[in-house]
Structure 1
Amino acid sequence: MIKVLLIEDDDIIGEMICMYLTEEDFHVLRTRTGQDGVAELNEFSPDVILLDLTLPDFEGTDLCNSLRQVTEVPIIIISSNAKVSEKVEAFTVGADDYLCKPFSMHELKARILAVSRRSKQAAAVGAASLPVDQPLKCDLDMNLETRMLLVRGESIEMTFSEFELIRLFYEHPQRVFRREELINALRGYDSCINDRSIDVHITNLRRKIEENPKDPQYIKTVWGVGYKFVK
């Protein structure tokens, strides 16, 4: 049973989501404030977080960023704001998907199943595909079992999507990935993520792993095509 933490202050929408997901055999816990959501995070231990961007005590993107600092649980933003800039900001601070209100409950279920499946597969594949502490390069070490990246001996905090990108690059060194391939690898075909979001993730990764992000040695741009990883 998938456990869903719903942080939504609108009673009508909140109750609709709770009723539908409960009928579909999800275990749902709803909070009306960001503070209560954070308080329930460890005790409830959700598999997926549904986060409204408009809360009485938090800006949704600020809360998303705070949650991402303490958990790798997939976060789906639910919002009435359909602006691309808002979506890009959400992905930048750690969201894994973005669903615009009003939305179909069937689509919501599909999104939850998709991010949950990718999260579980990533953990399973990561544990099996690379021995613990196998080095990427002299100053880059990745542990897929614990989902940790060490850069020059220091642990680097990453979002779920950032880790999935660097894992994908590592497993296919020198391969040139088109942006469309990276989008599909992260979100599936039904995602709101776009080319701009991928570029933002790449920029953030370079800032975290490159000695000089303006002259990257690991993540190379292949102009007019996409990106590749150089060991």
Structure 2
Amino acid sequence: MAARILLVEDEPTIAEIVEFALTGEGFQVAWRTLARDAEAALAADAHDLLILDIGLPDGSGLELLKRIRRDSDMPVLILSARNAELDRVLGLELGADDYVSKPFSPRELAARVKAILKRSVRNHVIATEPAAGEPADSNGFEVDEARATIRFQRRPLDLTRYEYLILKTLLTQPERVFSRAQLMDRVWSDPAASFERSVDTHIKTLRAKLREIEPRFDPIRTHRGLGYSIRVADRP
């Protein structure tokens, strides 16, 4: 089945170019010009990817992205005339998988869409592989992929997109050491857009959120010079 893409773009000329480029690659494209119409479309039907302009007539695309990320892990590509580094970094930190500046190459856009969708499918496969050794919930974790949420000790964790994806990756294979590069490759759509220290920052906030629930238990292990793993034993 062809991937379904929702395009949110208020410039008809740009929208026609994007639609032509993506339908030529076999994708199904639905086009909306307003943030509220995009939210209604997302609530009504499932989509595989969202292409989002930042400057919309009825609000900020970044605000729309923040609302989407509260309960959805759907891949998002930002397509914007804003090319400042701050805008790109903010978009990626809010949970976008990629950022393409206008003017753009339709062929490159189609290639980036393919890469995001391929990575999304791969991450789903990784997440559903049997864990090595103990099951993932043996240390108190429950992963609900349909809702993109993780519970710890039966309590829901309030996670950002990157925190959720990092923790979910660690839980696929407890005790396995993931290098920072491996985590970036599996979590970030474009690892080159971020830095390895970003992984450390998200691990730090993850640990703080876990400690709020069980202060004496730190399941995330740091392997100096190697990376991180999550353990299933040593509980108090």
Shorter chain as normaliser: what TM range?
0.7 to 0.9
CA contact (8 A) 1:149 1:155 kept: yes
Amino acid at match of 1:10: E
String of CA shifts for 1:84-141, please: whole Å, max 9, x gaps: 332332233222222222222222112212222222232233233249x84252x433
CA contact (8 A) 2:98 2:190 kept: no
Within a 5 Å distance, the mapping from 1:131-146 to structure 2 comes to 134-137=136-139, 139-143=140-144
Question: Using the alignment, how far apart are the partners of 1:222 and 1:116 within structure 2?
Answer: 31
Q: 1:21 to 1:176 in 2, by over 3 A?
A: closer
Q: Determine helix, strand or coil for the equivalent of 1:99.
A: strand
Q: Which moved more, 1:49-58 or 1:183-192?
A: 183-192
Question: Using the alignment, how far apart are the partners of 1:201 and 1:104 within structure 2?
Answer: 33
Q: Which moved more, 1:184-193 or 1:82-91?
A: 184-193
Tell me the CA shift for residue 59 of structure 1. 1.5
The aligned residue for residue 18 of structure 1 is: 19
Q: 1:146 to 1:203 in 2, by over 3 A?
A: same
Question: Using the alignment, how far apart are the partners of 1:145 and 1:32 within structure 2?
Answer: 28
The size of the alignment, in residue pairs, is 227
Q: 1:158 to 1:190 in 2, by over 3 A?
A: closer
Q: 1:23 to 1:230 in 2, by over 3 A?
A: closer
Tell me the CA shift for residue 50 of structure 1. 0.5
CA contact (8 A) 1:98 1:192 kept: no
Q: Determine helix, strand or coil for the equivalent of 2:73.
A: coil
Q: 1:49 to 1:169 in 2, by over 3 A?
A: same
Tell me the CA shift for residue 189 of structure 1. 5.9
Within a 5 Å distance, the mapping from 1:63-142 to structure 2 comes to 63-130=64-131, 134-137=136-139, 139-142=140-143
Q: 1:185 to 1:176 in 2, by over 3 A?
A: closer
Identity of aligned residues (%): 26
Tell me the CA shift for residue 8 of structure 1. 0.9
Q: 1:200 to 1:62 in 2, by over 3 A?
A: farther
For structure 1, the 5+ residue unaligned runs are none
Tell me the CA shift for residue 73 of structure 1. 1.1
Confirm or deny that 1:166 pairs with 2:167.
yes
The aligned residue for residue 234 of structure 2 is: none
Question: Using the alignment, how far apart are the partners of 2:223 and 2:89 within structure 1?
Answer: 22
Choose the corresponding residue for 1:175, options 170, 174, 177: 177
* Greater radius of gyration (CA): 2
CA contact (8 A) 2:127 2:169 kept: no
For structure 2, the 5+ residue unaligned runs are 232-236
Q: 1:16 to 1:196 in 2, by over 3 A?
A: farther
Q: Determine helix, strand or coil for the equivalent of 1:16.
A: helix
Question: Using the alignment, how far apart are the partners of 2:154 and 2:122 within structure 1?
Answer: 27
Q: Return the TM-score normalized by structure 1.
A: 0.80
Question: Using the alignment, how far apart are the partners of 2:90 and 2:208 within structure 1?
Answer: 17
Confirm or deny that 1:51 pairs with 2:49.
no
Q: Determine helix, strand or coil for the equivalent of 2:55.
A: coil
CA-based RMSD of the aligned residues comes to 3.3
